[in-house]
Structure 1
Amino acid sequence: MSRQIVLDTETTGLSAENGDRIIELGCVELFARKLTGNDLHIYFNPERESHEDALKVHGLTTDFLRDKPKFGTLANDIVEYLRGAELIIHNAAFDVGFLNKELELAGLPPLRSFAGEVTDTLAMAKQVYPGKRNSLDALCDRFGVDRSNRTFHGAKLDAQLLADVYINLTRGQDALLIDVSSNEPAQGATVVAIDLSQFDLPVIMAAEQELAAHEALLSQLDKSSNGRTLFRQNG
């Protein structure tokens, strides 16, 4: 199983090609869908001012960043940290574009030459929730992820929130990984056979309120899937 790095950046503006730079990098490591604590968080001196709109988002002033390292001085360490890992990023094209520009300025090859595949959680969310708001804030609210400390956008905090969102987005996928090729029990496992015929299992019918709630949910699914609800097709 490969490492996964949930990654976020903050920048001086919106265009790496027009000279905007990364000012913060936040990375959270997952292994087997669990936080490992092997995280990475760095502020950078971008050697330029942040655009006014960007400053309102991240709140990282030029004075705060003045004594921070330049990206190029730590670029090799960042490459080694990310090497071979799957990168999980919200709106990945933005962050990847900035990282590749910083690597280019440092004389290093792009992400694809040393990192694993890039998973865009924004694209995933749009597939799961078409037509819905799928910003990080919206997904946190949808999954009940606490973002009460998010006064400003911060790369480390956003990466931590995104890790929680990603685990919720992909919940249930572990079941697809079960090896059903063998009926043999795992080594050391105890198998207990139970004869269910000895039990008188009652049949409990759904209450009217439960049936109404179920029908309302199916109606919502019909609307979002343009009438392709599998339950109705197979019912």
Structure 2
Amino acid sequence: MRQVVLDTETTGIDPRQGHRVIEIGAVELVDREITEGRYQQYLNPGRSSDPEALRVHGIRDDFLADQPDFADIVEDFLAFLGDAELIIHNAPFDLAFLNAELERVGRPALQNPVRDTLVEARRRHPGQKNDLDALCRRYGVDNSRRQQHGALLDCEILAEVYLRMSGGQLGMRLAADREAQGPSVAEEGQAGAPFQAHAQAADRRRPLRLRRADAAELAAHEAYLRGLGGKALWREESPGEQT
């Protein structure tokens, strides 16, 4: 199964107000493995970024002035996506911008299946913060490079978050870390609190060990029951039951 983690950076928050895409990033996953497949493209939006958007992504207008228009890269972009399932955090935002760009160049809207990790995170963690930074803390994903938002960097981080949040990979990674580094890998200050919580949950799922009473313990229990006196119901055999 091929999936593509997708993200954009934009000049503002609403394409209906003329805001444009200024960066597209994408990371390929095949059978839940992150591949070397990457797509990144800066774009000339033909307008300035809003001050608030600029504070988020830090991509300056003078840098974007030399970048291509969306029309110049649309074929390569769509070829990279193919028919893959798209993994997007807050999908309506990015899809609205990308489909607006496609409409400008006379192309139909994206028809790929979409998995929204924000929706999934809210389902799994109701009432908690579920932005990308919060999910990194929760699932032990290193986001130290994320001083400002960047489409490709955010895709690389989201790919790790998605794999851990959607199961399977987390347990295997924890087991590998424990084998390589010893049991302290899940302690605070090494793998961090999110890893510790998941490691403890994994421990609770291990099969219980059955410990049978030895002869001395059985004799002590029998003596205790005799000391209770009377006829104990639990010592009677059920009809048809054999000891």
If the length of structure 2 is used for normalisation, what is the TM-score? Answer: 0.69
Whether 1:29 aligns to 2:28 is: yes
**1:133 corresponds to:** 129
**1:88 corresponds to:** 87
Share of identical aligned residues, percent?
A: 50
Structure 1 alignment gaps of length 5 or more: 176-200, 205-235
Matches within 5 A, 1:110-121: 110-112=109-111, 115=112, 117-121=113-117
Say which SS state the counterpart of residue 8 (structure 2) adopts: strand
- Taking the aligned partners of 1:131 and 1:152, their CA distance within structure 2 comes to 26
**1:185 corresponds to:** none
Which of 181, 196, 203 is equivalent to 2:211? 203
- Report the RMSD for the aligned CA atoms in angstroms: 1.8
Which of 143, 161, 176 is equivalent to 1:147? 143
The structure 1 segments of at least 4 consecutive aligned residues displaced by more than 6 Å after TM superposition are none
User: Is the 2:163–2:170 Cα contact (8 Å) retained in structure 1?
Assistant: no
- Taking the aligned partners of 1:203 and 1:43, their CA distance within structure 2 comes to 63
Say which SS state the counterpart of residue 67 (structure 2) adopts: coil
Greater helix fraction, Structure 1 or Structure 2: 2
Say which SS state the counterpart of residue 68 (structure 1) adopts: coil
Structure 1 residue 172, shift from structure 2 partner: 3.1
- Taking the aligned partners of 2:211 and 2:56, their CA distance within structure 1 comes to 56
**1:220 corresponds to:** none
Q: Who wins on radius of gyration, i.e. which is larger? A: 2
**1:49 corresponds to:** 48
**2:9 corresponds to:** 10
**2:107 corresponds to:** 108
- AA in 1 matched with 2:20: R
Structure 2 alignment gaps of length 5 or more: 172-208, 213-243
- AA in 1 matched with 2:24: L
Count of residue pairs the alignment pairs up? 175
- AA in 2 matched with 1:95: D
